[in-house]
Structure 1
Amino acid sequence: MTTTTTARDVAHYAYRVTWSVADEEFVATCVELPSLSWLAASPEDALRGLRELVAEVVEDMLSSGEVVPEPLATRTYSGKFNLRVGEELHRQLALEAAERHVSLNQHVVSKLNRAS
């Protein structure tokens, strides 16, 4: 995000609410600001508390000139990334792709889609 970020933009962040066995409460987290969390008795209260906290933190970051993370939802992606694997895994994947008569890229994309 740039310094034109508004409090409204924090609604675009990726939030998650899960049950915390250790705390015996719901915990809300924000992917873009992983150091922040909020505990509450209900998932709705946990999310509400965290969103308010995120808005305050983003406002503080902006006022102090810090770089505010851009929401994952508004980022653009090229569809390309480099991945380094060991020689043996590379060989295994290339062999599997050849056996299926597809490119190595198609084979790996297929595996990633099945895993997600």
Structure 2
Amino acid sequence: MYENNEYACSFEFALDLISGKWKGLILWHLSHGTLRYGEIKKRMGHITQKMLTQTLRDLEKNMLVTRKVYPVVPPKVEYTITREGMRLIPIFQQLQEWGGHMGAKLGTAVTCSGDPQLPD
């Protein structure tokens, strides 16, 4: 997975784990609770099915999301953020605050729908 890559520091490695247009948003939505694939797709808006599938696989591989498949017809698959994934949420909340601040400074309207519920 990451054995053959060399990183200058842990920050670079962390960015490699979560970089990409969709990873942070998916984790943000999953921090509100377990979601099925279709629910994630609906909340993400204009992400393609292929990109959502690929991104969820990456997040699962990086131990930030778990995937549970139920043996039913039609298939039922649920995604849950892991404890390691939840450790990112306070950082994302700070980014959200900073984004709101910068949006106001630059004259860009920015809105968010809800904050995640952090575990005790």
TM-score (normalizing by structure 2) = 0.29
Name the larger-Rg structure.
1
TM-score (normalizing by structure 1) = 0.30
